[in-house]
Every structure is written in C-alpha cells, then in structure tokens.
Structure 1
Amino acid sequence: MPDWNRRSVLATGAALSTTGILAAVGSTVAEEDASTEGVATGDPPGWSSVHGNAANSRYLPLDDGFPEPNTIAWRSDTLYGVSNDGDIAVVDGRIYIVGEFESTDYEQTELRVASTDDGTLEWKTEVTGRQRPTVADGTVYVSGVDRVTAFDTEDGSLQWVREFDSEQWISNATAADGEIYVVTGGTRFNADATLYALDGEDGSIQWKRKQVEARQENRETADPAPVGFKSAPVAVANGSVYAITGGGEFKGSGSKPGLQWNGGVTALDAKTGEKQWGVVLEDGAFIKIIATDAFVCVQNMPDGLEETVLDSETGETVLTSNSTRAATADVRVTHDTFRPSSGPITVSTYGTDDSWTASDIYYFPPLIAGDTLIATRTSESSIVGFDLESGTEKWNWEFDGTPHALAGVDENTLYFKLYKADRPTELIALRASDDRGEGREGDDRDETEPDDDTEDGSDESDSDC
C-alpha cells in the first residue's frame, strides 16, 4: 500500500476561457475566480442525482442510520422515467424524474416532480433532454443535446438555459459547492468533448477545458502528452473534479477477446480548472468514475468487471479490482457479475484486509444509506439491508416481481423500480413505519398514484426549453 498521507501536487494547465452562449432569465456573467488553491467542495443535501451525490458513489450519509422498512407507503406507474436504471433525484421531500411519458418525441421529454410523502405530482414541465435530473440549492438541472436547462424546484419556473454548439448528448450534470459540471460534445468512444464548470445560479461559464496533459501509466521516462475528454459525467470530491479522458499510447486488452479501450483520468481544481494530475491507464478507461477523499475508481472496460483504483491526491495506481458499485471514504462495494445476472458482492475496508461477501446479488447497483448497505437478492425476490461494517443481515423485504433498480433513498424511505408481467414498471416507496401504507408486497390497500391533472407549474413560454 502507498503512503496515504496527503501530498501537495503542482497545479498546471492551459489558460481558462469564460466565453460561451447563454440564454438565461435574469442572469449575469459571474467573474472568474482567479484563485489556484484547492477548496473543500460540498455536496448538495439528499440523493441529489442518479448516482446519489457529486462523487457518483451511491451513498447517503445519515446521522441516525437507515431504519428497517415495514410498509409500502405508495407506488406509481406514472413515475417510471427514461430507463429501468435508477434515474431519480430525491431532495427535501420531492422526487425528480425525467421521462417520455405521453410524448413520442425522443428528445422532447417531461420533468415530473412528486411529493415523497405520498407520490402526488406537484408540478411538471416539458424539457428538451433525456438525461437524468440533478438537484442543488433549490434548482433542478436537466441536460439535453445542445443545452442545460435549470428550473426552480418549488414551481418549475425556468431559471436559465445554457446553450452549447453540440450535436451529442451532454453528460448528466454534477453539482457541488454552487457550481455544476458538464461534458459536451464527443462520445464515450472518442476524446473530443469539452468539460465546463457553470455557475449554478445563472449558468455562466466559470471555466472550461478541452485538453490536459497526462503521463502514461508505469512509463516514468515518457513525456506527458495532451489528451481530450470523453463524454461522461465527472465526479467531484475533496475540492477536485475527476474526469474520464481518451487517447494516449495505451489501449487496454480487457477481459474479452477483441475488446480494446483507451483513456485515463485527470484531476482538476474544482474552482479554477487547473490540472492537478493526469494519467493514461494501461487497461483503459470507460465512462464510469467514483471518487472519494482517499481514492478514485475507474471502470476499465464496457463489461463492467474490471477497474483501476487510484490515489485521489496523486493519481498513482493502488490496485486493480472488480468494478465498484458504491463507496464511502472508507469502504468499497464491488460486484462480480455480468448484466443482467446475479453474483457476489464484496465490501472491503479501504487500505486494510477487512472484507465481507454476500452472494446472489442482482446486477443493478446497491446503495449505501448511513450504516446500511441495501441490495437486491434474486433467489428470494427480496431487498436486503446489511450492516455495512459486519455484513450482518439486518432486514429482508420479500416482494412479488422482478427488481430493476434501487433508484434512490432518503432518511426513511427506499425508492425502487419493479416490473411485473401484468403491470408496467412501477416506482415503489418502501418506508419505515408510516401510517399511510400497510402490509407487505401484494397488499394493495394503499397504492397512491400521482395526480396527472395537477396543473403544470411552469410558464407557457418555457415549453420550448
């Protein structure tokens, strides 16, 4: 194991630009922060994005731990989103979800916002974009092909629109410390994208980067070379933005014959965009990245079974592993299975030999709520809560159907997707003691559906955005 003490790193990089096109409502261009010192970047409260938080780690800290759920508080077949994966944000008593719903236009979707209390729709608005919502500081952000759109969380009113010269899908927004980070242009297969930091209040560009210089892993004598960004969501932790890059000398062979993938990771100062480190990995880099204060996990190949774990301060490789599905600053949850089958998960304490394993866990990723790891076990058709430290099974909720994703969590409720042969995909709220729902799966006495007749909270003039 390497030295885990914090080490200073040299910040180098190209000049930063604040140019761009902004279509906004009552916005002004913020002055660029010229500081080159790292800052402590804060997460928004709650399950703020599809990946849970700015670090993409599917982890919600809780002061009192996650209670054992004992009731279905409500269920809905009109809050199904754009995929079977987890695609919701849950913040301050509201659920945010993007989907096609009644639309037949692939790009013209709807943002729906419902109460976590009973699933009742609070407001909805049309939005040009299919990416999953991100919520921070009273604003919900949705990315599209050529724009990021920001709405007020209270009533859906338009806050601003940032337009880009892009024909490719813009990445899901990552929100941290008053800013949001998106990658525009390019694809997961090339390195032609641009990384932007936008002011969360008005969408003004704080900085952008098109390329960085990166060293070749395990080649100390090779000079650093310029690499570009892949179109993938970034992770933010410890005052740094961690992004997937493409190109470089290496092209990893991967675990499947014929599969090759290049690329690596770079760390940038979250406030200035200055490069802290960059590395091209021998085994390549796909589009998934998880970051904590101590380590960064990078999926090497599309099959999802291999990853490289790097020191977050230096970019030095610490180990190679099965792919991490969820993490805290101290714990990694890895999964050894192909989609859509089941397999064992291993929970390892970082920097030690301590670990525990649970078998027959469904492919869709588990999540961590406080001191509880929540996962789906297919042989029993159940959702299981494990003690994160010991692996002891704390509770087990059996249901009738096939799980598609653990979509999100708050302080006392787990939100998950369920498919049955005789029903469309549902979003179900599984809650600790609550007087609104009764009984286990199959008890239909409380199946509250959102009221689709609720008036759209956005202005009519916002429908083009």
Structure 2
Amino acid sequence: MPDWNRRAVLATGAALSTPGILASIGSTVAEEDTASSGTSTGDPPGWSSVYGNAANSRYLPLDDGFPEPNTIAWRSDTLRGGSNDGDIAVVDGRIYLVGEFESTDYEQTELRVASADDGTLEWKTEVTGRQRPTVADGTVYVSGTDRVTAFDTADGSFQWEREFDPELWISNATAADGVIYVVADGSRFNADATLYALDGDDGSTRWKREQVEARQENRETADPAPVGFKTAPVAVVNGSVYAITGGGEFKGTGSKAGIQWDGGVTELDAKTGEKQWGIVLEDGAFEKLIATEAFVCVQNKVDGLEETVLDSETGETVQTSKSTRTATADVRVTHDTIRPGSGPITVSTYGSEESWTASDIYYFPPLIVGDTLIATRTSEVVGFDLESGTETWSWEVDGSPHALAGVDENTLYFRLYHNDAPDELIALRASGDQGEGREGDEQEDDQCEEQEDDGQDEQEDDQCEEQEDDVQDETEPDDETEDGSDESDSDC
C-alpha cells in the first residue's frame, strides 16, 4: 500500500505548482465584487445530488454511523427512476428523481418528488433531457440536453430556465454556496465545452470559462498550453472547483510517441473562475471525478477500472490505482469489478498504510454515511464499520439489489431488480416500527409479551429469551415481505 503522507507530497510538489500562471486565458468574470474569493464553499444539506454531495464522493456526514435497519418502510415501482438506476436526491424529507417512467420518448422525461416518509408522490413535472436532479436552498435543478431548469421543492412551481446551444451536450448540475456549476455547449466526449457558474436564484452567469492553461504530467519543464473542458460534472470542495479538461496539443514521447494525451484536471477558484493549477494526464481523464479536501480522483478510461489520484492543492500525482467508488478526506474505497460482476473492495486510510478489504461486493458503487460503509452483495445489503471493516449488519432482499440510490440519517434507498416483476425503489429504515420486518420477529415478540403479562412458567420465559436473542434473518415468502431469493442480474 503506498504511503499517502500529504506532507511528503506537498514538499516534493510545491515547486512544481503554478497557480495563477496565465490564469486569465479564456475566462470571463462577472462585474461583481470578487474580493472574497477565499471564502469556503459549502455543501447543501442532505444527499443533495445523485453523487451525494458537491464533491461527487457519495458521502453523507453524520456524527455516528448508519443505525442497523429493522424494517422496509415502503417500496415503490413508480419511483424506480427508469434507466437512471433509481438515482435520487434526498433532502428535507423529500426524494427527487428523473426518469422516462411511462414515456417512450428518450428526451421527454419527468421529475418526480415524493415523501421520504412513506414514498407517496407529492408532485411531478415534465422535463427535457435525462440528467439527474440536484437540490439546494429550496430549489431542485435539472440539466437537460440544452438547458438548466429550476423548480421550487415544495410544490414544483417553475423558478427559472437557462438555455444553451440545443445541438450540444450539458453536464449534470453541481450546487454549492448559492452557485450552480455546469459544463455546456460541448459535444459528448470532445473537450470543446464551457464551464459556467450560474447564480442559483435566477440562472444568470457569475463567470464562465472556455479554456485554461495546463502543463503535462511529470513534464515540469514543458510550456503550458490551452485546453478546453469535457462535458462532465465538476466537483466543488472548500472554495475550489475541480473540472475535467481535454489533452490539448500534448503528445507522448518514447514508446508513446505521437499519441495524443486525452484529458486532465484543473482547479479553479469557485468565486472567480481563476485557475489554481491545470495538469494534462498521460493516462488521460474520462468523465468521473471525485474530490476531497486532500485528494482528487479522476477516471482514466471509459471502463472505469483505473484512475489517477492527485493532490488537491498542487495537482501533483500521488498514485495511480483502481477506481475510487466513494471517499472522505480520510479514506478511499476502491473496486475494480465491472458489471455485472462481484469482487473485493479495499478501504485505504489516507496518510498511512492501513487498509481493509471485503469480498464479493457487487459492482454498483457503495456509499459512506457517517462512519458506516454500505455496499451490496448478490442478494443482500451490508453495513461495515468504516474504520475496522467489521460487518455490523446485513439485510437479505427478495431480488438483486442494484444501485444504492441515496441515504438520510435513518433510511437507505436502493433499487431492487426482479426477473418477473417491475423494478422497485426500496426504503430500508432503522425504526421502532416493525413494517416489513424479518420473519417471525413480530409474532414471537407478541407471544413473549403475552407470556410476561400472564406470568407464565419459567420454561416459557426462557424460550422467549432465546427467541429474542436469536433474531431470524429470513423473511415470509409472501407479496409483502422479503423472501431472500437470489435473482440474477440480467438487466446489466
């Protein structure tokens, strides 16, 4: 395991960092006061996007871990999210998701908003495009193929719409500190797009950036060159925007002579758009980017199995590794399995050699909530202690658990696939209510309570104590409970 010592990285890389060199190229800044550009950028509360937060790291901070779930609070086949794998935002007691639902038109979709308490639909509205919802400051933002549209979270009333070139692509929106960041006006995989910082209240442009100056990885003596942006979601952490760029005119040498370098990463000031650093990577940069206060991870290729890890302050390469699925500033969770397979995940502690692994984890990305890591296996959802790797709880399901769609302080939302029935969105909750609890728990508890009330004999009391201690994991094989069956993953 490589040493993630941040001081060593900063010491060797400080001389190579060039924040502010040629920072004005391609930048347009609004005529507003930008003197407070060092202000920390903050996340909206809750699971504010399908990537969990503005850093795209699938992490929800809590003081403790996610409590052991004991009930399926509700399940819905009308909130499954279509081909978006049930990805949702969960904020202030509401669930937000976009999908085609009953529509057969690829571009004509719906935004649906439901109660997180019981899954009932609160409101819905048609939207254009298939990007996922982002929620901040009482507003839900949806990116389409040519626009960003804002709706009031309470009733779905229209707030504003910002249109872009209808022939080109637009990224999923990232929200932080009253600003909405999108990359627009670019083709799907080419680096010819523009990064916009939009005012969250009305969609007006605070600043935009068409290009940045970047240098080649490990070529500190090479001259920087202009590069454009790829149409991929940006990540925002502590007053910085991290975005994926193209490779410019850089080409390899030696065994890679003449090969075009395909992409890199840049850090910009979130208030002004001023460049802090820009690096073009020899292994390329595709479209998945996760940022934390300590490091930035970028997917190198379309298969998503390899990535480059950069120091967030300097842009220097810390290591190349397997793909990071979820992260905090202290840990990275990596997994090198492609769908529809299973394999081990590794949880590495930043700044040390400490790590642990868990086997047979399904392809779909895990998530971190507080000090709990939640992942899926073939027919169960599993919770691990983030520090030790101890399996703290598991829950069997009556199908194949696919995407872990989102989480709040006591409920996990995941998509469940059935071979012979519609997919569902499941709300698995830690609650005093029994709901669709585990097999026999409720009946045995009631019997024990009756025996205690009636003062039945010591033998019966002992039987009840044994029943309470030995909690059953299987469930009733009826329509309202989980049957623990091992369904295949044929829809991947």
Answer yes or no: same fold by TM over 0.5.
yes
How much does 1:87 deviate? Answer: 1.5
User: Which residue of structure 2 aligns with residue 453 of structure 1?
Assistant: none
Measure, in 1, the Cα distance between the counterparts of 2:58 and 2:208.
Answer: 27
User: Which residue of structure 1 aligns with residue 422 of structure 2?
Assistant: 424
Counterparts in 2 of 1:196-345, with a 5 A limit?
196-249=196-249, 262-345=262-345
Measure, in 2, the Cα distance between the counterparts of 1:213 and 1:268.
Answer: 11
Whether 1:14 aligns to 2:12 is no
How much does 1:109 deviate? Answer: 1.0
1:12-38 CA distances to partner (integer Å, 9 max, x unpaired)? 23364368xxxxxxxxxxx53433732
Q: What's the secondary structure of 1:276's corresponding residue?
A: strand
Counterparts in 2 of 1:51-450, with a 5 A limit?
51-249=51-249, 262-378=262-378, 381-435=379-433, 437-440=435-438, 444-445=479-480
Q: What's the secondary structure of 2:189's corresponding residue?
A: coil
Asked which structure has the greater RCO (Cα within 8 Å, sep 6+), the reply is 1
1:410-445 CA distances to partner (integer Å, 9 max, x unpaired)? 000000001111211110000012427232465644
Aligned in 2, Cα 1:289/1:114: closer, same or farther, shift over 3 Å? same
Figure out how many residues of one structure are paired with residues of the other and give that number.
429
Letter in 1 for 2:437: G
How much does 1:65 deviate? Answer: 2.2
1:357-401 CA distances to partner (integer Å, 9 max, x unpaired)? 0011011100001000000012xx111000000000000101121
How much does 1:64 deviate? Answer: 3.2
Tell me if structure 1 keeps the 8 A contact 2:278–2:315: yes
What's the TM-score once normalised by structure 1's chain length? 0.88
Tell me if structure 1 keeps the 8 A contact 2:37–2:270: no
Gaps of 5+ in 2: 254-258, 439-474, 483-492
How much does 1:145 deviate? Answer: 1.3
Measure, in 2, the Cα distance between the counterparts of 1:415 and 1:370.
Answer: 16
Tell me if structure 2 keeps the 8 A contact 1:14–1:274: no
Aligned in 2, Cα 1:400/1:250: closer, same or farther, shift over 3 Å? farther
Letter in 2 for 1:247: G
Gaps of 5+ in 1: 20-30, 254-258, 448-465
Aligned in 2, Cα 1:84/1:106: closer, same or farther, shift over 3 Å? closer
Tell me if structure 2 keeps the 8 A contact 1:84–1:405: no
Larger Rg: 2
Letter in 2 for 1:394: T
Q: What's the secondary structure of 2:414's corresponding residue?
A: strand
Q: What's the secondary structure of 2:170's corresponding residue?
A: coil
Letter in 2 for 1:324: T
Measure, in 1, the Cα distance between the counterparts of 2:18 and 2:250.
Answer: 24
Q: What's the secondary structure of 2:282's corresponding residue?
A: coil
Letter in 1 for 2:331: V
Tell me if structure 1 keeps the 8 A contact 2:26–2:212: no
1:130-164 CA distances to partner (integer Å, 9 max, x unpaired)? 10000000000000111100000000000000111
Tell me if structure 2 keeps the 8 A contact 1:50–1:86: no
Measure, in 2, the Cα distance between the counterparts of 1:86 and 1:367.
Answer: 15
Aligned in 2, Cα 1:282/1:236: closer, same or farther, shift over 3 Å? same
Tell me if structure 1 keeps the 8 A contact 2:360–2:377: yes
Letter in 1 for 2:416: L
Letter in 1 for 2:56: N
How much does 1:189 deviate? Answer: 2.3
Measure, in 2, the Cα distance between the counterparts of 1:248 and 1:423.
Answer: 48
Tell me if structure 2 keeps the 8 A contact 1:32–1:207: no
Tell me if structure 1 keeps the 8 A contact 2:247–2:284: no
User: Which residue of structure 2 aligns with residue 49 of structure 1?
Assistant: 49
Identity, in percent, stands at 81
Letter in 2 for 1:429: A
Aligned in 2, Cα 1:362/1:43: closer, same or farther, shift over 3 Å? same
How much does 1:165 deviate? Answer: 1.9
Letter in 2 for 1:170: I
Aligned in 2, Cα 1:283/1:251: closer, same or farther, shift over 3 Å? farther
How much does 1:202 deviate? Answer: 0.9
Q: What's the secondary structure of 1:83's corresponding residue?
A: helix
User: Which residue of structure 1 aligns with residue 34 of structure 2?
Assistant: 34
Tell me if structure 2 keeps the 8 A contact 1:250–1:283: no
Tell me if structure 1 keeps the 8 A contact 2:10–2:314: no
1:212-233 CA distances to partner (integer Å, 9 max, x unpaired)? 0000011122100000000100
